[in-house]
Amino acid sequence: MAESKTDTEHSAVDHGAVEKINREYEKTLAIFPSGIRQKKEKLVTDTFRDLSQKIIAQGNFDFTEERQAILKLKLARYFQKKDSLSPSTLFDAIVETPKFLDKAKGSFFRLLELHQQKTLERIAEARKRRAEMGDKSAPNPWENLFTTKS
């Protein structure tokens, strides 16, 4: 009996946290000027729907109601400053760093910056491994590592 009471209390705490995040989301939407609020809200909703479908389809991601509310809030904050976002890139970044959706603090700007850095590191490591393979007839992957004007 004590366990079910703890579960009920935990659910109440989660529900309270979700309500608080949803209120913060509404405050964030209220900041948009009335002329663009509908457009931005549609952008948030469409991006949220696309990301949610991808996250759920992945299967091994714990996409709780609280994480969903946090994602929606962070999308609204992101679209305060930007007008577009690649759902695929954001999906990759979220899957790579799932703890990002555990707290309402933090911005997609930082998450995307970290994702870009990690992606570049993985590319460099793959190119280094390829170069160390010793196949002299294959092109050197280090050759195209840096952008040139030619």
pLDDT digits (tens, 9 = 90+) for 15-63: 788 899 989 989 988 888 888 888 989 999 999 999 999 988 888 888 8
The token pair that represents 131 in the structure block = 């170069």
C-alpha–C-alpha distance, residues 55 and 98, integer Å: 11
98, amino acid identity = P
Q: Please state the pTM of the whole predicted model.
A: 0.72
Residue 149 is given by DSSP the state -
Which residue in the block uniquely carries the two structure tokens 């160390």? Answer: 132
Nearest to 25 by CA among 80, 98, 90: 80
Angle between helices 65-81 and 2-31 (to 10 degrees): 10
pLDDT digits (tens, 9 = 90+) for 88-117: 888 998 888 888 888 888 888 888 898 889
51 neighbors 90 (Cβ within 8 angstroms): yes
C-alpha–C-alpha distance, residues 71 and 45, integer Å: 11
**Extents of the domains making up the chain:** 2-106
